[in-house]
Amino acid sequence: MALLELKNISKIYGELKALDNVSLHVDKGEWVAIMGPSGSGKSTMMNIIGCMDKPTKGEVLLDNVDISKESSKHLTDIRRDKIGLIFQQFHMVNYLTAVENVMVSQYYHSMPDEEEALEALGRVGLRERARHLPSQLSGGEQQRVCVARALINHPELILADEPTGNLDEANENIVLELFRQLHREGTTLIVVTHDPEVAEAAQRTIVLEHGRVAREIINENFVD
């Protein structure tokens, strides 16, 4: 069953077609990797799926709702309820502690619950670092906090834009392991990456070039 359906979407900036007539179908529970050279439109696509941007043309169906026509206020509601975001630059609120950063996500979603937030940090192996400020955490630890924050509201879809781009081998493996867990729990994952190793962890890889889907690779070796 389709969770996400992109139908011939284009995003045009003046002369530049950041996305050019792209179609994509992602099933519920699927794990998809998106690759492509720099400037090929990966982030543009993620922003559209993440309800932070609208396509110039085409339809985006998320849970059978056409989000390309929604008002930005509605898009915020949808993003909050359905989507967990992880960014390359592991954005954190720099004056809030790790656990508070996780709670911010709860705060906008429903109710802040410190216990639950601590549990989520436990899942990413940072329970003891819960009271630390971002400046006291390493890049890898910060990214793990961001993963905890993305999963705290149990979103149907997790969008990760180069989540391991700035991480070393060890931290990359921790994050990938977390993705595997989430996948097993039935969460749909869309992960943008330059790293073939990260892409190989997914079930399917979409390769973008010049705003178009250049090819699609099914991972035969995927182990559930």
Partner 1 sequence: MTKRRMFLRMITASLLRRRSRMLIALLSIGIGATILAGMVTIYYDVPRQMRAQMRSYGANMLLLPEDGETLNSEKLANTLSQFPEDALVGAAPYRYVRLDMTSRQQSFTTAGTDFEQVLKTSPYFSVEGEYPSGTRQVLVGKEIADTIGVKVGSSMELTWQPAVTASTGDPSDDWQPGAALAGSAEGFGGSMVSVTAKLDDEAKISEITVDASTQTPEYGGRTAEDKPFLKQFIGKALPLEMGGDIDALTGATVTSTAVVEALNTSHAAAAGAQPRTVRYDVTGILVTGGEEEGYVFMSLEDMQSLTGEDKLDVAELSVSADEEQLNGYVENITQSGQGVTARLVKRVTKSETAVLGKLQALVFLVTVVVLLLTMICVSTTMMAVVSERRREIGLRKALGASDNSIRVEFLGEGMFLGMLGGVLGAVLGFVFAQVVSVNVFGSSITFQPLLLPITVIVSMAIAALSCLMPIRRAVAIDPALVLKGE
Ligand X SMILES: Nc1ncnc2c1ncn2[C@@H]1O[C@H](COP(=O)(O)OP(=O)(O)OP(=O)(O)O)[C@@H](O)[C@H]1O
Q: Can you give the binding site for partner 1, defined by CB under 8 A?
A: 43, 47, 50, 52-53, 73, 76-77, 79-81, 85, 87-89, 91-96, 100, 103-109, 111-114, 133, 149, 161
Q: How many residues bind Mg ion (CB under 5 A)?
A: 1
164 scored as a contact of Mg ion (CB under 5 A)? no
In the complex, least distance from residue 78 CB atom to partner 1, rounded to whole angstroms: 9
Q: Which one of the spans 38-46, 54-62, 114-122, 131-139 is the region binding Mg ion (CB under 5 A)? A: 38-46
149 interacts with, out of Mg ion, partner 1, ligand X, none, CB within 5 to 8 A per kind: partner 1
CA 57, distance to chain mean position in Å, is: 23
Do 10 and 48 contact (CB within 8 A), yes or no? no
Is-contact 3 157, C-beta < 8 A? yes
114 binding partner (options partner 1, Mg ion, ligand X, none; Cβ < 5 to 8 Å by kind): partner 1
Q: Nearest approach, Cβ of 222 to partner 1 (angstroms)?
A: 29
Out of partner 1, Mg ion, ligand X, none, what residue 16 binds, judged by CB under 5 to 8 A for its kind, is ligand X
Cβ at position 103, least distance to partner 1 in Å: 6
Q: Which CB sits closer to partner 1, 114 or 177? A: 114
Nearer to ligand X among residue 51 and residue 120 (C-beta)? 51
Say which residue the tokens 């990359």 belong to.
Answer: 172
Shortest Å, Cβ 164 to partner 1: 15
CB of residue 85 to ligand X, shortest distance in Å = 14
Q: Pick from 40, 43, 143, 188: which binds Mg ion (CB under 5 A)? A: 43
